[in-house]
Structure 1
Amino acid sequence: MTLSTIARRLALPVAGFVMMAIPGAFAEDRPGITTTNASADEIREFCTNIADAARDQRYLLQKQELENLQKDVDERIKTLEARRAEYEDWLKRRNDFLKTAEGGLVEIYKKMKPDAAAAQLAELDPEIASAIVMKLAPRQSSTILGEMPADKAAALTRILTAASDPNTSKDPS
């Protein structure tokens, strides 16, 4: 056997070894899926062994979901309580506002001439003046507001509007 014959015989296995070392050299080759010859008993035993862990994991996920839902409900309850408190505050302020004009004070202004009543109401605290105007008959109120200076009448009208609006908040911002 000659040296060239030996080299030819070694070249093929060496080339195959080199090709295996180069990534992607045999792109057509795919790794085979190896299966075990597990018996039904072994499979059942495996499933039985992991059943408790799987159940615990399911319970943990359900517990986390319930905790998240509870946090969401708690936040909504806080929002509703804040809105309820704001509405109760608004209702109290409105009732206090209306009580200010109760009694004989309204009767006094009912009997006054509109120009005299307008002059006196313009000098009063705007909340008190608007409470009185609210208690008067609409025709008399409009006459009095017509006799007042425009800026004072506008201020009273803003207060009257805010007092009758249920969406008015304590915080105007």
Structure 2
Amino acid sequence: MTDNLITFTVSRSLVRRVVVAGALLALVHQAGAQQQPDPASFAATSSQDEIQKFCGNIADQARDQRYLLQKQELEKLQADVDDRIKTLESRTTEYQDWLKRRNDFVQRAQAGLVDIFKTMKPDAAAPQLEQMKMEIAAAIIMQLPARQSALFLSEMDPEKAGMISTIISAASDPNTSKRPQPVKAPT
């Protein structure tokens, strides 16, 4: 029986030691778990810090690169605008040259036409003036001497002569707008 009692005492003391060791181990494990961060959260925090540091380090370079790209784009646009301005200036010069030649031709043609009507008799010129546009007929009559203009108008249809007279009076009126209104022919 003493053998049993010794075994039981040893066993009991062994069990107590194992329980105490297990409890101590659990406490140590809990304390260690509280002090050491979780490796996954440590990796995430570490990655975030590294990303922020990296972005902070290259922010100035990235901004400079954006500015450089924007500057290059603006320079390209400016060059395009300059090219278009040059094209417009050359076309404006061409148009002004063309307009000058046209106006010179119109003046010579008009002077020649007025000279033709100056030599015509009123009874022959009146029907031809009636067939023209009223504005052109009025321009020709305005350039003729007053006596000859009166003879031409007296030979014309009274309604058409009245419209031509209206155009001439409107052209000499300082209150008339610069853009003449079209005269409607009677139907």
Tell me the TM-score range normalised by the shorter chain.
0.3 to 0.5
Please state which structure has a larger fraction of its residues in helix: 2
Q: TM-score by structure 2 length?
A: 0.37
Q: For the pair shown, which has the larger CA radius of gyration, 1 or 2?
A: 2
Q: Which has the higher contact order (CA 8 A, sep 6+)?
A: 1
